Structure 1
Amino acid sequence: MQRKHLFALIAILIVAVMALAACGGQTTEAPAPTEAPKPTEAPKPTEAPKPTEAPAPTEAPAPTEAPAPTEAPEVKPADEIVVYNWSDYVHPDMYTIFTERTGIQIGEDNFSSNEDLLAKLQGGATGYSIIVPSDYTVAIMIEEGLLEELNHDNIPNLKNLDPEFTKLYYDPGNKYCVPYLWGTTGLGYNTELLDNPPQSWESVFKAKESDPWFGRMTLLDDVREVFSAALIYLGYDNNTQDEAQLEEAKQLLIGAKKGVSGFDNDNYEDLIGSGENLLAHGWSGDFLQAADEYGNINYYIPEEGGTIWIDNMCIPKGVTPEQKLAAEMYINFVLDPEIGKMLGEYNYYATPNKDALAIADPEYKENPLVFPPEEIRAKLRFIKPLGEFESVYQRMWDEVKSAQ
């Protein structure tokens, strides 16, 4: 059975092989020749690229606005200030009125000469919000950087000053100070005990033992005031820097000491009023104020002349912003016409406040001892700052006071 199947399979395979052989015997046609490729066309020239358009200019950014300045914190005035002043140089009610108006308390300390005031500030004294130096001392303090500049916005009553007092040689424009009061320096005497006071400085500096005022008179304890009187008598400039002239004045003063009971800034008018002394070198308002109290004092300028001065309100360097504001408020208060009137009429010194003078009592504003007439003013001289030469005056003054 298997053999028959095998033969059949072989026969089929033989037939298949013969058929394949017959197919492989036919001739194969050569392929048709390949056509040459058509020549490649040259590429069209590339068009030049269109120029690139410049980009639109970039707009500059809007400038950044500067930030608004930070506002400084509002300064409030100090609760209390201290005034460093000459003694008895303010109306008794002024501080109370100022406190009632502003709530600011005021204390006061006193000095007896410009030299004492200057030395204290040069030594670094603090605690004072307002000081009251005379003209030539202000000039020294400005030069030495001892004063604050004033903020005029806080002192609107500056408009009340007489224009004469806005053009001062030591502080034009009132940059550092505001005039407080002004006056003169001359001689006061007891009218009950001295009928004929000396009209010349000669009778002071060369007093005789037979003169009723010999040994019963005082000179100011003030180097520049006393030397000014001596130099004016000698016919020299009271601000001289000639040492020979100053030496002559020194010798005159040493010789005068035998007829002088002392050097005094504080009580000379009371000694005149009480009759203990008959004659004194001093400041106009002190004598006139004492005249109201004692009724027996008069004042005059000797025939050779005397000095004129202006005391000023200033703020010392180094105060706090709060103290400075309170001090400027006080200065503005003093410049109020009613307050200026009160101050001047109380102590008989001349006010620089034109609006105060306009409403002042005639007894005050027409008093020739308070407001000297032109013929007297022509004989009055300011004391000027002398820089380093001040030390020469001080040395000679020490020699006068120590001389026996």
Structure 2
Amino acid sequence: MKKLIMGSLLLLLLLTMTGCRSGENGEVYVYSYGDYYDPEVVADFEADTGIRVIQDTYDTAEEMYPIIKNGSANYDVVCTSDYMISKMKGENLLQKLDKKNIRNIKNLDEDYMRKAEEYDPGNEYSVPYLVGVSGILYNKKMVKGKKIDSWNALWDPDFKNNIVMQDSVRDAFAISLLRLGYSPNTTNPKEIEEAKNALKEQKKLVYKYANDSARDLLADKSAAIGVVWNGEYNYTHDLNKDIEFVVPKEGSEFFIDSWVVPKSARNKRNAERFINYMCKAKVAKRNFDYLYYTTPNTAAIKMIPSKYVSNPALFPSKETIARCTLLRNLDPDTTKLYGDSWKEVKSK
């Protein structure tokens, strides 16, 4: 769900070209969040299987959705987020997976597989790839001794022009709603209105709304406090040892990004081989080493040094995850209400 690095449009051009070279065992078209796995893993997959991988990336699930919905391009395997998988499944945009072709799914943590059933009952359409939680990244020196353990810190006037807030409608509203004691999946217009007004009030304190760049703004001391996904902690802490990460006591947003196969896929068997490869323990470990996002692959975790596995920023405890919530796909009217409310926040 979650590293949002600017994707290339190269594949959209490739798909319009003729005479593209195929691997000896065909190809597989992969569509995922940008920079979301070790590039060498793809090269090794090609060498091991003879399947050529054609890759394309996107920034947000909302950007990916109309591409699949409208058939603008044909992809065989997509990595996307929990709530979007629910939406796509409900609109008959996904194929059921043949688990006989994804035997390495046995490596995945049963707890995460059960949690994934919240958006994919029976785990029929998706295979978890990465998981994580949203939290507060802060510079312990710049916050001058204040205890940071609540979303209220993002409304603290002492941090005016030092706050980086997520630039995403559902993520921003999740923070505001949780702070107010509401569900981040609420469909109650009054609760959404209250959360909107709180975000409008917060705006005068915000230095910048950002997604990817939030970690860099904290690392170089452009800001004192901000919102990131836990996978960004290690990178930022390596650059600035004063950086700490906390999941607020009110709870937070939890995500599971998973592999799915669109209904329009032309190479389903190769897609399942790609997913199976990504579930290999050694491959999952390499992807962790590349990203430092939490892997749900228990076989891979056994290979990861304990200094990482024991770090609650990188591998949140079950108690932490228990107070976090997956975003759900919402009905069209509520989705529009959130979107209109976010536009109002950003425009004032």
Q: TM-score range by the shorter chain?
A: 0.7 to 0.9
In structure 2, what is the equivalent of residue 135 of structure 1? 82
**Aligned pairs for 1:2-17 within 5 A:** none
Check the 8 A contact 2:176/2:195 in 1, yes or no: yes
1:98 matches 2:45: yes
**Aligned pairs for 1:213-362 within 5 A:** 213-320=159-266, 323-362=267-306
Aligned-partner SS, 1:133: strand
Higher relative contact order (CA 8 A, sep 6+): 2
Deviations 1:114-141 (A, max 9, x none): 2222233233331322221111111111
State how far apart, in whole Å, the 2-side matches of 1:105 and 1:154 are: 18
State how far apart, in whole Å, the 1-side matches of 2:24 and 2:281 are: 23
In structure 2, what is the equivalent of residue 390 of structure 1? 335
State how far apart, in whole Å, the 2-side matches of 1:304 and 1:241 are: 19
1:202 matches 2:152: yes
1:185 matches 2:134: yes
Check the 8 A contact 2:34/2:57 in 1, yes or no: yes
Structure 1 gap segments, 5+ residues each = 1-75
Counterpart code for 2:256: I
Deviation at 1:274, TM superposition (A): 1.5
Structure 2 gap segments, 5+ residues each = 1-22
**Aligned pairs for 1:56-205 within 5 A:** 79-167=26-114, 168-191=117-140, 193-196=142-145, 198-204=148-154
Aligned-partner SS, 2:300: helix
Counterpart code for 1:116: E
Deviation at 1:243, TM superposition (A): 0.2
Counterpart code for 1:202: N
Deviation at 1:296, TM superposition (A): 4.2
Check the 8 A contact 2:68/2:74 in 1, yes or no: no
Deviations 1:267-324 (A, max 9, x none): 111111122222211111022233234444321112222111111011122121xx22
State how far apart, in whole Å, the 2-side matches of 1:137 and 1:199 are: 29
Check the 8 A contact 1:84/1:128 in 2, yes or no: yes
Deviation at 1:77, TM superposition (A): 8.0
TM-score normalised according to structure 2 size:
0.86
CA distance 1:220–1:394, change in 2 (3 Å): same
Deviation at 1:365, TM superposition (A): 1.9
Counterpart code for 1:252: A
State how far apart, in whole Å, the 2-side matches of 1:243 and 1:299 are: 32
In structure 2, what is the equivalent of residue 39 of structure 1? none
Deviation at 1:217, TM superposition (A): 2.2
Deviation at 1:87, TM superposition (A): 2.5
| Sequence identity (%) | 33
Aligned-partner SS, 2:313: coil
Counterpart code for 2:273: M
Aligned-partner SS, 2:48: helix
Check the 8 A contact 2:78/2:262 in 1, yes or no: yes
CA distance 1:259–1:313, change in 2 (3 Å): same
Deviation at 1:192, TM superposition (A): 5.0
CA distance 1:295–1:102, change in 2 (3 Å): farther
State how far apart, in whole Å, the 2-side matches of 1:136 and 1:180 are: 15
CA distance 1:291–1:179, change in 2 (3 Å): same
Check the 8 A contact 1:200/1:304 in 2, yes or no: yes
Aligned-partner SS, 2:80: coil
Deviation at 1:78, TM superposition (A): 5.9
Aligned-partner SS, 1:228: helix
Deviation at 1:337, TM superposition (A): 0.8
Check the 8 A contact 1:112/1:265 in 2, yes or no: no
State how far apart, in whole Å, the 1-side matches of 2:205 and 2:25 are: 50
Aligned-partner SS, 1:132: strand
Deviation at 1:191, TM superposition (A): 4.2
TM-score normalised according to structure 1 size:
0.74
Q: Which has the larger radius of gyration?
A: 1
Check the 8 A contact 1:166/1:174 in 2, yes or no: yes
